[in-house]
Amino acid sequence: MTSKNNIIFCKDFVSDVNAQIQGVSLEQLFILTDTGSKKHCYSALMQVSALKNAHLIEIPAGDDSKNINTVVSVWQFLCEHGGTRKSMLINLGGGMITDLGGFAANIFKRGIKFINIPTTLLGMVDAAVGGKTGINFNGLKNEIGVIHSASCVLINPSFLQSLDKNNVLSGYAEMLKHGLLSNYKDLQALLNFDINEPDFNKLGEMVRISIEVKEHIVEIDPGEKGLRKALNLGHTIGHAFESYSHTQARPMLHGHAIALGLIAELYLSYKFKGFPQDKMMQVVTFIKENYTAFDITCKDYDTLYALMQHDKKNSDISHVNFTLLSEVGNIHPDCIVEKEDIFNSLDFYRDIMGI
Ligand SMILES: NC(=O)c1ccc[n+]([C@@H]2O[C@H](COP(=O)([O-])OP(=O)(O)OC[C@H]3O[C@@H](n4cnc5c(N)ncnc54)[C@H](O)[C@@H]3O)[C@@H](O)[C@H]2O)c1
Ligand SMILES: [Zn+2]
């Protein structure tokens, strides 16, 4: 099945990949992957006989690789192995690979074709779709990049079977966010799903629904001028937790920080936009049961607030901006919330998590 934006939900992975590389001469096919994705997913790609002799570029796993030096090494490899404007880069991996590979491809020779084959849950429902590509720079995440979509994104949920629980939970937080942005029925399906013993067929179907939510939003507002800000739900406070966790040498995976950010931001939605209390409690209970608390006390609030003020999505540091909800699917971007109320939401988060 193919969506409008060329997102393909694979029925037969080998023939679906084959269809996408038609017309590209064999010596112009390049595969970019990292050590972890290669270990678990490369053999499936090698079932595509036309890719057996494709040039393989392997980089170390982890976000530390998402930097300009790695991009230069990818460009170097392309130059040394006869890359031309007709080359195609196949990005096989999680968000680190699709972000970096998309960026490298978009710049090389002023843009070559690339396809994304996300292998993590976060990659499938978020990073590989929507066209944002980039790298970390100068100590800042995603500081350099371009928005330009892959020629296609191939979704093969069977890759999720080898993913560790923390990475499953990380992607699942973005799915919860998409559920909150769409409708109560889809949200309930997510809350009732057994994430500890996942039924991968069901999860694949929920991935498809989740991607449609992001696609719909990005289609209306590709440049993040209005509705795309909805995708920041949970991220204003979540990013502050994430950044703080890194400065304290107790790093959290992105989605774990977002899940905790959702608790605080649903509280703000309830308080200021009348989001129904029972639905808020259903979501925060699910998060409490499945995610680990990030330990903070009220002494940390000022630092967290400063991080929110300086978040790059916040254009004016005198205010902190939120996307809030008045109901599941009723989205209010650009809500300014005062410091004291943000602190109250952090109190709520600590009460819920029992810290
Ligand atoms: N472009 C966007 O819109 C967007 C959105 C969200 C996140 N991101 C970016 O995505 C990145 C995070 O992505 P991620 O969470 O996928 O992390 P990741 O790409 O670092 O992958 C996480 C780990 O899983 C391993 N792995 C990959 N596939 C596997 C599989 N099938 N089985 C077992 N292990 C596997 C990887 O080797 C890695 O060690 C960040 O750099 C973030 O900035 C981008
Ligand atoms: Zn996110």
| Segment 170-197, tens digit of pLDDT | 999 999 999 999 999 999 999 999 999 9
| Segment 93-145, tens digit of pLDDT | 999 999 999 999 999 999 999 999 999 999 999 999 999 999 999 988 899 99
For 13-51, letters b (16+ CB in 10 Å) and e give bbebbeebbeebeeebbbbbbbebbbeebbebbeebeeb
Nearest-atom number in ligand 1 for the CA of 171 is: 15
| Segment 240-267, tens digit of pLDDT | 999 999 999 999 999 999 999 999 999 9
Query: CA–CA separation, 144 vs 245, rounded Å?
Result: 23
Binding site membership of 145 for ligand 1 (Cβ less than 6 Å)? no
Cα 114 off chain centre by: 18
Domains and CATH numbers, the chain: 7-162 (3.40.50.1970), 165-353 (1.20.1090.10)
Ligand 2 midpoint to CA 262 (Å): 11
| Segment 58-97, tens digit of pLDDT | 999 999 999 999 999 999 999 999 999 999 999 999 999 9
Is 4 a residue whose pLDDT tops 70?
no
Retrieve residue 93's tokens.
Answer: 């991996």
Is 204 a residue whose pLDDT tops 60?
yes
Question: Ligand 1 pocket check: which of 32, 33, 114, 122 to mutate, most ligand atoms within 8 Å of Cβ?
Answer: 122
In the chain, % of residues over pLDDT 90: 91
Query: CA–CA separation, 309 vs 302, rounded Å?
Result: 11
| Segment 31-54, tens digit of pLDDT | 999 999 999 999 999 999 999 999
Ligand 1 midpoint to CA 41 (Å): 13
Considering only CA atoms, which of 187, 174, 215, 186 is closest in space to residue 8?
A: 215
